Structure formats: structure tokens, C-alpha cells
């Protein structure tokens, strides 16, 4: 469950609401079509997703599919009829209580690993930050998170942008130099003006870049 949260960036109300029909083992995907919300009286209910864009198809990593398969192959636990087909349930076969999940599972794992305390929702932020830092396009990350817009994603994770810009600038420089070498026909030294013009256009005219 934590692996799914960390690799997909799903909200906890989303992955706690998943049912087996939402999952495709053959494609390695899972559909987000509902949420699991707590009631004031201590109960729970299914609800619609946060917004229309929150209804989405998410690709699962192989490391996340393996434990889900193990759960699927276990004997079913009889719980509330309304909770039938839920993937993540407690020992009684009912939906997991988010508060109990934090106290009995997440907090124990963090303490054993000697990691600082973080919120359950921080797994979502970590997934987004790692994806953007790895160079995944912001539009793809936005769609995976179910954000209202790409602009919202970029604004929320603006702290990652300076590093992305540095990496992008370095990549453009490498490609520009490579293009200058490949597309030249006359081997002659470049002066500063020639080099500036070539970089500006991206297409070398008649000279090649000399190391």
C-alpha cells in the first residue's frame, strides 16, 4: 500500500477505495473512480473523486503489483457487504481507518527505519517531487496526480523547477554542440560570432565546432 502511494502519488482516500475490478493485472494499471471518506459517526462511505480530472488510469510499477497479487491470492475475509471487493481491508474485512493506519503501520515503519515523522499525504508530494526531478514531463505528472491543471502542478512543486532548468540547460548545450559537429561541412575554426549565431539558430551553416 505504501509502495503504491509512493510510486503513483495517489491520495489516501483514493487507494483505500480501490476494488479488485479497478485493477488490471495484465496491463499493470488501476482505475481511480471513487474515494473512501470517513463519516462523523466513525463510519465510512464511498464518494466521488475530488474533481473530474481525478478520475484517471494510473500505471503501476512491477514492485507495487507483486504485493497486490499476493493479497489477491489470499483467502477472502468476510466483512461488511458494502466493503466487498475492496483491495485494502483490515483483519475484519472492512475498510482501513486512516487514523489507525497512521498509528499502527506508518508510524511503526518510520520509527524502525529511524526516519523523521511525515504525514501520510507527504507520500504523494514525494512521488511528485521524485518524478519531476527525474525529468518526467509536468503534464504527465499532473495527469498522474489528478491535478486540476498543469499550471497547478508547476506552482505546487516550484521548488523542483530550478534543478529542472539547470538539467534542461545542460541538455540543450550538449545537443547544440552535437548538432554543430554533425551538420557541418567545412572544417574551419569558429569565431565567437559564428558560434553565437549557430547556437541561436540551432543549425550550423558552413563551419564546424572545434574542440
The parent domain of residue 42 ranges over: 2-120
Cell of 208: 564546424
8 and 108 assigned to the same domain:
yes
Tell me, yes or no, whether 45 lies in a domain. yes
Residue numbers in the chain where pLDDT is lower than 50: 186, 193, 195, 197-199, 201-211
pLDDT at 209: 39
pLDDT at 203: 45
Domain final residue, candidates 60, 86, 120: 120
Tell me, yes or no, whether 152 lies in a domain. no
* CATH number, domain containing residue 99: 1.10.443.10
Tell me, yes or no, whether 30 lies in a domain. yes
Rounded to 5°, angle at Cα 106 from 1 and 60:
20
pLDDT at 107: 72
pLDDT at 202: 47
13 and 116 assigned to the same domain:
yes
pLDDT at 198: 47
Identify the CA nearest to 110 among candidates 125, 93, 123, 98. Answer: 123
pLDDT at 184: 58
Report field, pTM of the whole predicted structure over 0.75 = no
pLDDT at 159: 78
Tell me, yes or no, whether 35 lies in a domain. yes
Q: What is the number of domains present in the chain?
A: 2
Tell me, yes or no, whether 23 lies in a domain. yes
170 and 110 assigned to the same domain:
no
Domain final residue, candidates 87, 105, 120: 120
pLDDT at 207: 43
pLDDT at 145: 94
Which H, E and C letters describe 87-143, residue by residue? CCECCCCCECCHHHHHHHHHHHHHHHCCCCCCCCCHHHHHHHHHHHHCCCCHHHHHH
17 and 87 assigned to the same domain:
yes
Calpha distance 33→27 (Å, rounded): 17
87 and 8 assigned to the same domain:
yes
Amino acid at each position: 500500500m505504501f509502495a503504491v502511494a509512493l510510486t503513483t502519488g495517489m491520495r489516501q482516500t483514493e487507494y483505500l477505495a480501490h476494488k479488485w475490478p479497478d485493477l488490471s493485472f495484465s496491463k499493470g494499471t488501476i482505475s481511480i473512480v471513487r474515494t473512501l471518506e470517513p463519516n462523523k459517526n466513525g463510519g465510512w462511505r464511498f464518494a466521488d473523486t475530488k474533481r473530474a480530472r481525478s478520475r484517471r488510469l494510473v500505471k503501476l510499477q512491477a514492485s507495487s503489483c507483486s504485493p497486490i497479487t499476493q493479497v489477491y491470492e489470499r483467502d477472502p475475509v468476510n466483512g461488511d457487504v458494502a466493503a466487498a471487493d475492496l483491495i485494502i481491508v483490515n483483519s475484519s474485512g472492512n475498510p482501513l481507518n486512516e487514523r489507525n493506519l497512521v498509528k499502527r503501520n506508518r508510524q511503526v515503519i518510520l520509527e524502525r527505519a529511524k526516519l523523521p515523522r511525515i504525514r501520510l499525504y507527504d507520500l504523494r508530494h514525494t512521488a511528485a517531487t521524485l518524478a519531476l526531478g527525474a525529468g518526467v514531463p509536468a503534464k504527465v505528472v499532473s495527469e498522474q496526480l489528478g491535478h486540476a491543471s498543469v499550471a497547478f502542478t508547476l506552482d505546487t512543486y516550484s521548488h523542483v523547477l530550478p534543478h529542472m532548468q539547470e538539467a534542461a540547460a545542460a541538455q540543450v548545450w550538449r545537443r547544440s554542440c552535437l548538432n554543430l559537429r554533425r551538420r557541418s561541412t567545412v572544417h574551419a575554426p569558429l569565431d565567437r560570432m559564428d558560434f553565437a549565431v549557430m547556437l541561436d539558430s540551432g543549425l550550423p551553416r558552413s563551419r564546424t565546432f572545434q574542440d
